[in-house]
């Protein structure tokens, strides 16, 4: 799917460890970080690190494809729609994963 707008910036971060170890009470720190990330106009977080969710690569890719659906041809991003799509996909995929764990 070609994007008909100029790419302004791309960022990649590589992490030495993929699996976080949570401490008790991490939720308050997650909430603080989540509020900050949601305040950024041109940022959408998803995937294992961005959502504190143990999703797999195909889950992250499905969320990324959903996020792309929120881009207009001019490159404008509908963040509210993006969040709805990402959370909907995440909830669906995690429910499927949980069912598969017990089969």
Buried (b) or exposed (e) across 34-53, using 16+ Cβ within 10 A? eeeeeeeeeebbbbbebbeb
Q: Rounded to the nearest 10 degrees, what angle do helices 79-101 and 57-68 cross at?
A: 160
Q: What pLDDT is stored for residue 68 in this prediction?
A: 80
Q: What pLDDT is stored for residue 101 in this prediction?
A: 44
Per-domain residue ranges of the chain: 45-101
CA–CA separation, 5 and 68 (whole Å):
13
Walk along the chain (103 residues) and give the pLDDT tens digit of each residue: 566 778 788 888 887 876 667 788 888 887 888 888 888 877 777 666 666 666 677 777 777 787 787 777 787 777 777 777 777 776 776 665 544 443 3
Q: What pLDDT is stored for residue 29 in this prediction?
A: 83
Q: What pLDDT is stored for residue 100 in this prediction?
A: 46
């Amino acid at each position: 799917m070609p994007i008909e707008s100029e790419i302004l910036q791309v960022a990649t971060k590589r992490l030495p460890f993929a699996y976080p170890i949570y401490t008790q009470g991490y939720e308050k720190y997650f909430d603080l970080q989540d509020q900050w990330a949601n305040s950024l106009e041109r940022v959408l977080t998803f995937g294992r690190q961005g959502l504190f969710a143990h999703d797999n690569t195909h889950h992250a890719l499905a969320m990324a494809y959903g996020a792309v659906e929120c881009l207009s041809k001019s490159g404008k991003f509908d963040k509210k729609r993006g969040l709805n799509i990402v959370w909907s996909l995440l909830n669906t995929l995690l429910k499927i994963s949980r069912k598969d764990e017990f089969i």
